[in-house]
Structure 1
Amino acid sequence: MNTVKPESIALFCLTPGGVVLAKRLAAMLPVTCFTSEKLLEEGFIAFENGFANTAREAFANYSALIFIGATGIAVRVLAPLVNDKFCDPAVVVIDERAQHVISLLSGHAGGANALARYLAGMLGADPVITTATDVNDMAALDTLAFQLNARMSDFRSAVKIVNQMLVSNKRVGLWWDDELTQDVSHCDRRGFITVTDLNQLPELDALVCITLRTNLPDLPVPHWKLVPQRVVAGIGCRRDTPFPLLAALLARQLEAQQLDPLALKAIGSITLKKDEQGLIQLASCCRVPFETFTADALREHEHRFPASSFVRKTVGTGSVSGPAAWLLSHGKLLGETLREQGVTITLGVSH
């Protein structure tokens, strides 16, 4: 999944007119501008081993690429690299007179549609968007997932099916947990039919459920579960605690709270554990960041939790999992702390 960040946009221009437009854009947003040696100006970077080579290097290292020039040039240069719409960077093309801004690649997942609209707004140009859901003034399942920072089992297949149903005027429902109402209210839901009660469904062809829950009731229509990443886990453990034990205990703690494992957003611990292989492997397996906090930061909140004098003597604070979860969730904890086999796990929810 590729998320466009303004600070990682590479811009390419091949003509004097392109350089003029690039300077105009560079004054409005942070971009790295590339051009040829003969057109080089202050603030620009010269192509290294030619335009094509530089563009292909940028494709692998930037989350968005802007080409000022002909669409065909961008297509020919990038064609061998195009691989996956959920991983490829956003690619946008602008004509040098700034009349059109074309979303060329990764419109939803990479954010090219949003970037094209943003650039067109700055330039007074026409955004050219061709994705079916957008041209039919409808939301898209993949866009909804990215807006919610949510995950889903078999995401690719679900996106293909649900988006096709939306543009085919099928009745696709959208239901969400009450605690996620504020999150969902900011999302694009055009084309979806709002469902308020899973026990009293309107006539539907399919249903998307936005939830942190492990299980849903039996539903009479094809349905998919979209799981926002909101749950954090503070973990304390002995040195060299094996990964299988950590994984099993975390799974049990999530199950005790009836939380889908896909809802996990981050794992946290003390800085002394930053090289703890079991925790590193756990975060990697769950595809979430592993964040650590200093003993001083954790100690500020240890009064909120049962403290151990042995732990305090060993690591500098009397409690690790609770304060770590507190910091990750801004004080919104879930359930009781698990304590077993030298491992402590405290869950929290972060919005």
Structure 2
Amino acid sequence: MIRIIALTPAGKKLGERLVMSWPNASLDYKPKPFAVLVQRAFQQGDWLVFICATGIVIRTLAPVIQDKFQDPPVLVLDEEGKFVIPLLSGHEGGANEWGAQVANQLGAQLVMTTAKPYLNPIYTLGMGCERNCPLEFLESLMWEALKQKGLTPSDIHSLNSIDIKADETNLIALAQKYHWDFNTYSAQELAPMESLLSTKSDYVFKTVGVYGVAESAALLAAQNETGSEPELTLNKIKNAKATIAIARGFSS
């Protein structure tokens, strides 16, 4: 769940703008008791947007912060909506990419304080599936993946797989439905992505010649599109008939 917390009338108006774009978001205006409610939301894993001074957020969350692998993403905005600061869980928690989306939505400046300036992320999907996989299995899995990372189909640049899936009817149909390029790559082309995979399947390697189709294809496509070192945004997830992963690269 996304919680937007505003402390001034101007901040409330900005929060109302954001809520219109996020159906699963709630706006809390001057919540009381402030520290208790905010800390509880943070501990239960809610994604938090504060429209207030950064110092207030730091002092309030300090007692419950654990580490970048467990804490939910936290953004801080000024009440005029001119600046967006990913404050916590920038890389691992997704606050950097989320902050970039919010900044783009508001026409605001993204204020990055982490090592990489993630200003222009290019997202790519990689998918593997059983032969003649029904479209509903592919599409439902795609939506689950996007939901997990707060992305929409318009954020995705391309759909990618291994070359033996070049004629997979419903992978092609999925790409056409959402106006994505559909690319396939040989096992030899995908092999250099091996070191970046989250897991390696010996079964998949014996079957198609790479240790993971979805992750490898997404990573290679992100690298090809941006010329930068790609990274996994979402490690592969699966349903009964398909797997999917999301990768990204960064263009200047």
Q: TM-score range by the shorter chain?
A: 0.5 to 0.7
Q: Structure 1-normalised TM-score?
A: 0.39
Amino acid at match of 1:12: I
Partner of 1:132: 115
Q: Greater Rg, structure 1 or structure 2? A: 1
User: What residue in structure 1 maps to residue 69 of structure 2?
Assistant: 86
Could you tell me how far apart the structure 2 residues matched to 1:112 and 1:99 are?
17
Matched residue of 1:53: which SS? helix
The match for 1:166 is none
Over 3 Å counting, the alpha-carbon distance change for 1:255 and 1:228 in structure 2 is: closer
Instruction: Pick the aligned partner of 2:20 from 12, 20, 27.
Output: 27
The equivalent of 1:56 in structure 2 is 39
- Rounded to whole Å, the distance in 2 between the matches of 1:70 and 1:21 is 14
Partner of 1:226: 197
Structure 1 unpaired stretches of 5+:
1-7, 37-45, 150-176, 187-194, 199-208, 212-223, 232-250, 264-287, 292-326, 330-348
Higher relative contact order (CA 8 A, sep 6+): 2
Is residue 2:10 matched to residue 1:17?
yes
Does 2:193 align with 1:210?
A: yes
Q: AA paired with 1:226?
A: L
Task: Please give the secondary structure, in 1, of the residue aligned with 2:28.
Answer: strand
CA 1:147–1:109 in structure 2 vs 1: closer, same or farther (change >3 Å)? farther
Structure 1 position 35, deviation (Å) = 2.4
Q: Which residue of 1 aligns with 2:149?
A: none
What is the alpha-carbon distance in structure 1 between the residues aligned to residue 93 and residue 78 of structure 2? 21
Aligned length: 172
Contact 2:190/2:210, CA 8 A, preserved across alignment: no
CA contact (8 A) 2:103 2:109 kept: yes
2: distance between equivalents of 1:131 and 1:147?
25
How far apart in 2 are the matches of 1:179 and 1:119? Answer: 36
The equivalent of 2:99 in structure 1 is 116
Distance 2:70 2:89 in 1: 8
CA distance in 1, matches of 2:35, 2:164: 45
Q: Which runs of 5+ in 2 are unaligned?
A: 128-160, 167-179, 182-187, 215-235, 245-252
Q: Cα–Cα, structure 1 residues 131 and 147, in superposed 2: closer, same or farther, change >3 Å?
A: farther
Report matched runs for 1:1-351 at 5 Å: 8-30=1-23, 31-36=25-30, 46-47=31-32, 50-134=33-117, 178=162, 196=189, 209-211=192-194, 224-227=195-198, 328-329=240-241, 350-351=243-244
1:86 Cα offset (Å): 2.2
In 2, the alpha carbon distance for the partners of 1:147 and 1:94 equals 30
- 8 A Cα contact 1:107 1:131, kept in partner: yes
With over 3 angstroms needed to count, the CA separation of the structure-2 counterparts of 1:197 and 1:77, relative to structure 1, is: closer
* Aligned-partner Cα distance in 2 for 1:181–1:72: 52
Is the contact between residue 102 and residue 129 of structure 1 (CA under 8 Å) also seen in structure 2?
A: yes
What secondary structure, in the 3-state scheme, does the structure 2 residue paired with 1:66 have? Answer: strand
Cα offset, 1:78, TM superposition = 1.1
Q: Aligned in 2, Cα 1:179/1:88: closer, same or farther, shift over 3 Å?
A: farther
Counterpart residue identity of residue 58, structure 1:
A
Distance 1:226 1:181 in 2: 20
Whether the 8 Å contact between 1:63 and 1:110 is mirrored in structure 2 is no
Q: Deviations for 1:209-262, whole angstroms, at most 9, x for unmatched residues? A: 434xxxxxxxxxxxx351468x8xxxxxxxxxxxxxxxxxxx9x779758869x
Cα distance, 1:73 vs. partner? 0.8
Structure-2 residue corresponding to 1:239 = none
Q: Taking structure 1 as reference, are residues 62 and 179 closer, same or farther at Cα in structure 2, changes over 3 Å only?
A: farther
